[in-house]
Structure 1
Amino acid sequence: MQRRDFLLALAALATPAAAVEFAPVRPGRPLVFPADHGAHPDFRTEWWYATGWLSLPDGSPFGFQTTFFRVRTGIGEASASAFAPRQLILAHAAIADPGLGRLRHDQRAARVGFGRAGCTTDRTDVWVGDWRFKQFPDGYRAAVQGSDFAYALSLAPSGPPMLNGQAGFSRKAADQRHASYYYSRPQLKVAGTVTLAGRTHRATGHAWLDHEWSSALLPEGEQGWDWIGINLADGSALMAFRLRDRTQSAQWSAASFRPAGGATQTFPPHAVSFEAVRHWQSPRTAITYPVEWRLHIGRRRFLLQALIDDQELDSRPSTGAIYWEGAVRLLEDGREAGRGYLEMTGYGESIRLG
């Protein structure tokens, strides 16, 4: 996309836009489907975030990420001009390639309008140029054409949305004004194609989708977050996160666990802990990230290990952030229990998004 759209995106994410009244997140507002699969343009930020593990016909494992962000900028809302950048769509895409030893990744940004970018409010359908994430009656389709990779994937749900927090009201601090509406679609069955180095391969696997929207996400003083979404081998699903301050101490934590075919259980901050075991330093940015973790969720103990250490994604041209986003294995009692993704933000500068 054109450079001015990247600059607009950075300005919108960094500007308080205090004069604009964004829609608030309040407890007790039920999530209603299919309407809440669609966009919520009255809120400041929103994302659809699909991650997963893929296997090629020879058994080679890969991770993939597709993230689309919608940002209400607070700019030009009183203008009648179709060029006013009221809403922006940003997108990140990546393949975690063990053979390469790092991510293949790319990004896009554009203002909504003129067919260049957009989203719909009645179902999931968000796009930037020829990148698209769209909902169909049988699931979702993700299509990305990056600079050195591409994929076209179908993602089929195995059950209803998993509501995180209090029926989808997900607090990010003791003060409930800092919250989002948040649900997940775990255990998505994936099939499609992946193109690497000019060669197209059939691919299958499992994925996780998060959809989250808010107007005030991070309280003052919080530096970033650590998040996991894990599909367990027995059909269950685990989401957990913690938010950290500038000393890297946890300020808020939460988790959701849904057994196969069962009801979702939520965990309060005192029942969730992340303990870093091993670190890796990026040769490009010199940022150090934990790439192996011990997790305590209720009475269960897990070990989280990265597929490859170097899964750093530099999104400074779009969201202004450098973060670690990658495929991980979850071990319990020394055995692999599941696979999913780990996201870590704010290990360099404070995260701007939200």
Structure 2
Amino acid sequence: MSLLRLRNVRLLLIATVTLMLYGCSGEDPAPTSSSGFAGLAEDVDGFEHARPNQPLIFPQEHAAHPDYRIEWWYLTANLKDAAGESLGLQWTLFRQALMPPSERPAPTPWAADQLWMAHMAISHGKRHQVAERFGRSHSQAQLSTPQNNQAGVVASPFHAWLDDWQLKENEEVASTDFNHLTLTAYSDEGESRFGYRLELTAEGPLVLHGEEGFSQKAANGQGSMYYSQPFWRINGDVTLNGETKTVSGRGWLDREWSSQLLDARQSGWDWFSIHLDDGHKLMAFQLRGAGDGSGGSADIERGADYRSGTWITPQGDATPLATDDITLTPLESSVVAGRDIPTRWRLEIPSVGIDINIEAPHANRWMTTSVPYWEGEVVVNDRTSGDSLGVGYLEMTGY
């Protein structure tokens, strides 16, 4: 075996671990070191870096950014079937560059400088079904097509895929404006088969987070390029437990790319996407600093904590929310996969009149993927009256 192939095998093993962008490692908490949570604070030379005053240009930004180290296309959805029963849905495509652009090999059938991972999940009552897949590709543009690569993303017409899991422009709609997409993903066979085919229609504009798309993640300036489409109207079919149901509801798609995302002291994060019944949307997250990487409150280094968010009107106008605007307080925890996971929160944003409780109706939303994390649907209630205000999704890592 040549030295180049040996190096690529080693890089493949390393990247398979660090590609798990939203998790913690194995049975033990993710370590905090100079590389930070899951390696996302690693100082990497030769890659492009997210920074302020970097205009986002569409539709190009919908495609992959192979000169950045990490990237994802992340869809969550709150749905109901014809009987009014709630379902939750997740589909995520992750990309990681194996090496900086200057070190990449020439494209050949065996050369791969990008690794890909996809997650899918369906939640219905106590049932939570999860699957994942892995793929590889070369970054060179002329190979970035489904015919030539196992996985990839192109901008126009939009197409994101890993094998036959795909999110793409709806071929029945004469449009390439990222407003009409079809999502298809199935796993297993026979009675164990589960998955979905869904039609997504955007009912509002794209939303840029942070400073015109640059989302700071730490006081020292680390961050990502980050935008969302929080206005998806979703219709389609979901198959679970040997039964196919017609569903409809609301979806939220996040897009982020970076090369050095976090502060080295940050041990994990809590991320919320909320659809309020009055038409407003809310994204909020906090990154937790912890001395030993446990994510526990006893050893939090407050200097590494960081919060941010975006308040979105029904028309799509976005107001950035700073660290001091947001207070997140865990109210109740559940034991999930041997970990204490906060499944009930209080969120306060006085500047926009928000004081709400956010609760997971079902705690068992543990993603049993190669590197696990918690991801599930939540309900939103008024803190004082208890009145229902909306639904959303919550992601938690590093516990």
CA 1:312–1:90: 2 relative to 1, 3 Å: same
Aligned to 2:109: 82
Specify which of 199, 205, 211 is matched with residue 154 of structure 1.
199
The one-letter amino acid of 1:164's match is: H
Higher strand share: 1
The one-letter amino acid of 1:226's match is: D
Aligned to 1:339: 391
> 1: distance between equivalents of 2:360 and 2:157?
33
Aligned to 2:61: 36
Alignment of 1:84-123 (within 5 A): 84-98=111-125, 101-112=126-137, 114-122=148-156
> 2: distance between equivalents of 1:198 and 1:72?
38
> 2: distance between equivalents of 1:146 and 1:276?
35
The one-letter amino acid of 1:10's match is: T
Bigger CA drift: 136-145 or 185-194? 136-145
Alignment of 1:117-136 (within 5 A): 117-122=151-156, 124-136=158-170
Note the residue ranges of structure 1 that are not aligned, 5 or more in a row. 348-354
Cα displacement (A) at 1:20: 5.1
Larger Rg: 2
Aligned to 1:10: 16
Aligned to 1:326: 376
The one-letter amino acid of 1:297's match is: I
> 1: distance between equivalents of 2:45 and 2:112?
14
Cα displacement (A) at 1:93: 0.4
The one-letter amino acid of 2:369's match is: S
Q: Is the 8 A contact 1:307 1:329 kept in 2?
A: yes
Cα displacement (A) at 1:60: 1.2
Cα displacement (A) at 1:187: 2.4
CA 1:131–1:6: 2 relative to 1, 3 Å: farther
- TM-score w.r.t. the length of structure 2 is 0.79
Q: Is the 8 A contact 2:121 2:128 kept in 1?
A: yes
Specify which of 183, 197, 200 is matched with residue 244 of structure 2.
200
CA 1:196–1:19: 2 relative to 1, 3 Å: closer
Matched residues, number: 336
Cα displacement (A) at 1:214: 0.6
Q: Is the 8 A contact 1:39 1:123 kept in 2?
A: no
CA 1:139–1:262: 2 relative to 1, 3 Å: closer
> 2: distance between equivalents of 1:71 and 1:211?
14
CA 1:85–1:287: 2 relative to 1, 3 Å: farther
Bigger CA drift: 321-330 or 259-268? 259-268
Partner SS state of residue 238, structure 1: strand
Cα displacement (A) at 1:31: 1.4
> 2: distance between equivalents of 1:57 and 1:21?
52
Specify which of 81, 85, 88 is matched with residue 63 of structure 1.
88
Aligned to 1:300: 354
> 2: distance between equivalents of 1:234 and 1:6?
47
The one-letter amino acid of 1:193's match is: D
Cα displacement (A) at 1:83: 1.6
CA 1:129–1:8: 2 relative to 1, 3 Å: farther
Specify which of 302, 322, 335 is matched with residue 268 of structure 1.
322
CA 1:215–1:199: 2 relative to 1, 3 Å: same
C-alpha RMSD of matched pairs (Å): 2.3
Q: Is the 8 A contact 1:55 1:62 kept in 2?
A: yes
> 2: distance between equivalents of 1:61 and 1:245?
34
> 2: distance between equivalents of 1:326 and 1:223?
20
Bigger CA drift: 58-67 or 260-269? 260-269
- TM-score w.r.t. the length of structure 1 is 0.88
Aligned to 1:145: 186
Cα displacement (A) at 1:6: 8.2
Higher helix share: 2
> 2: distance between equivalents of 1:115 and 1:8?
21
Note the residue ranges of structure 2 that are not aligned, 5 or more in a row. 1-9, 20-37, 139-147, 291-295
Specify which of 215, 235, 242 is matched with residue 259 of structure 2.
215
